[in-house]
Amino acid sequence: MKIIFYSVNWIEGEKKLFLKTLNIYGNKILSVEEILDLANISNNKYLLEIDLTLIQEQIQKHPYVKIANLSREFPNQININIKERVPLAYLNLEDYLVIDHDGFILPLRNGIIEFNIPTLTGFNSEKSLYPIGFKCISTKALQAVENLNFAKKHFPELLENLSEFTINHDDHFEMILAEKPTKIIFKNHSFEDQIFLLIKFNDLIEKTKSLEDYTYLDLRYKNQIVVKERI
């Protein structure tokens, strides 16, 4: 009788190990429905037979997914933790693309402009330099990503008002602010020093003016800023 009793309990316990719930965390860009489609897991499947590694690989094929971590939560749940790629800027090429903080190339979602991020213009338009789902190959575009990341970290309000980041005909970077549009010209090296100089200038004028009160600010001269006030 004991053997039969324990066998019945074991069978009842096994029944409880069938998937009932998928918990999805960390997604802000991708919808729950998109992640479920990528995971392609059916309910009432035996929890221990579900290949979490295979599902992880399927989810990570999506260009907006940086990392997907999956785990079982007994008796009947699977947790999916998503870390998405963070869009940094649009690339104004023949077809608009998105580039993330790590320099990876992403497609437009649903063919529309949806993120409040600046646009990179003036870069080499050769398509092979921007493989979707992989890291950008354009050296200049990657330098722009590095510069934008630095500016975002140390002068975040500048990035919030940035419309365009471009390369001019002299191969210098330029920022175009959104509101008026003020042009900020950088020399093509020592970007970090120029950002700190711009921060000091902004602190100096903040009680009476803003950067948008100037037509342009030229940082190409050592330890000084040449400006033209907006009339």
- The H-assigned helical ranges of 155-223 are 156-160, 191-205
Statement to judge: residues 77 and 178 lie in one domain:
no
In order of 116, 117, 136, the CA distances from 160 in angstroms are 8, 8, 24
pLDDT at residue 14 greater than cutoff 80: no
Query: Can you tell me whether residue 37 is helix, strand or coil?
Result: helix
Q: Which domain, by its residues, includes 74?
A: 2-84
What's the pTM value of the predicted model, to 2 decimals?
0.87
Query: Can you tell me whether residue 127 is helix, strand or coil?
Result: helix
Place of tokens 């090429």: 93
Note the pLDDT of residue 24: 96
104 DSSP assignment: B
Statement to judge: residues 23 and 104 lie in one domain:
no
| CATH assignment at residue 155 | 3.40.50.11690
Last residue of a domain, one of 61, 84, 107: 84
pLDDT at residue 102 greater than cutoff 90: yes
In order of 187, 198, 206, the CA distances from 226 in angstroms are 13, 11, 17
pLDDT single digits (tens) 118-177: 999 999 999 999 999 999 999 999 999 999 999 999 999 999 999 999 998 888 999 999
CA distance 92 to 101: 17
- The residues that bridge with 79 in the sheet, in sequence order, are 23, 71
Query: Can you tell me whether residue 5 is helix, strand or coil?
Result: helix
pLDDT at residue 37 greater than cutoff 60: yes
201 DSSP assignment: H
| CATH assignment at residue 31 | 3.10.20.310
Last residue of a domain, one of 68, 84, 100: 84
Note the pLDDT of residue 10: 39
pLDDT at residue 4 greater than cutoff 90: no
CA distance 17 to 46: 6
**Region 178-205 average pLDDT:** 93
User: Other C-beta atoms within 10 Å of 105: how many?
Assistant: 22
Please tell me the total count of domains within the chain: 2
